[in-house]
Amino acid sequence: MNAFSPVTILSKQSDFVIGTPVLLEGIKKDCAAVQKWNEDYFISHYGETVIRADRYSSDQNIPYFLQSYINSNKVAFKEVFNRDLSLSLMENIDFLKANPELLNDIDFFKPLGKKENLDAFCSFWYAPSGKIVDLHTDDADLFLLQVSGEKVVRLIPPSQTDFIYQQDKTVLLKLCFGLGLNQEELEEAANELTNSQFSHVSCFNPDFKKYPLYQHVSGLEANLSPGDVLYIPKGWWHATKAKESSFGLNTVVITPNISWKDIFTHHG
């Protein structure tokens, strides 16, 4: 059986080691987004805004980014909260670009970029209760800000990749060409495949008979509440499960030499 230990909660600067996940508990609990972003807020202010929403199922064994092409729909924002439709907003950058005033509510600390360029690498997420995004990696450090609701994140170090059962990128690329994607979508998909890895294993319900080596995995687990920020280092496998309806933001750190003192200053 797998063992997932709690992620370290940052209490002092020495707790932070680049390349090791850490939870900045409650660091953004007072920002405007955490105070006001909920379903009623978005229905009231953006309910008629047309947005691309995704029907994602972890049972399909197809990475979430490909399912966004297969199962996406353009709907009024208010329809995202229709439980019968089972819709999510996954890695949505366009919504923030079209509504830059939302960035005023984020108030990110300096390592996460300035407001004027934040939308270039900040993505917006909404997940209904129970929604899972299964194991994958990213090619840059990222911060996950939990804005509302509760979410659990499991993390597995790169050193255990041999136990993860990676999906074959060649097969996934062929699948992309079979989906009838336009040129822009093909380029997006190819870029995602270049920069990320994906697993066959369902992290929250693993089939040990089918994937026996996964039994040797030991990792970390973080339970996120509104205002929490989780640091996920480049190359770490991670999967998320919404314990309840939740909003979140992912911000990719692309600057190689970052001064972390601002994090600790703001953490106080």
pLDDT tens by residue, 206-220: 999 999 999 999 999
Instruction: Transcribe the chain into DSSP letters.
Output: --EEEEPPBP-SGGG--TTS-EEETTTTTTSHHHHH-SHHHHHHHHTT-EEEEE---GGG-S-HHHHHHHSEEEEEGGGGG-GGG--BEEEE-HHHHH-GGGGGGT---GGG--GGGGGGSEEEEEE-TT-EEEEE--SSEEEEEEEES-EEEEEE-GGGGGGS-BPPHHHHHHHHHTTT--HHHHHHHHHHHHH--BBSS-TTS--TTTSGGGGG-EEEEEEE-TT-EEEE-TT-EEEEEESSSEEEEEEEE--SS--THHHHHHH-
Tokens at 66, concatenated = 């490909």
| Contact in structure between 124 and 92 (CB atoms under 8 Å) | yes
Give residue-wise pLDDT tens across range 76-92. 999 999 888 788 888 78
Question: Structural domains in the chain?
Answer: 3-264 (2.60.120.650)
- Region 235-242: what's the mean pLDDT? 95
Give residue-wise pLDDT tens across range 144-178. 999 999 999 999 999 999 999 998 888 877 777 77
> Whole-model pTM?
0.86
Q: What integer pLDDT is reported at residue 189 of this predicted model? A: 75
Name the β-bridge partners of 238.
136, 155
pLDDT score of 234 more than 80: yes
Residue with tokens 């993505």: 123
| Contact in structure between 112 and 251 (CB atoms under 8 Å) | yes
Higher pLDDT residue, 61 or 208?
Answer: 208
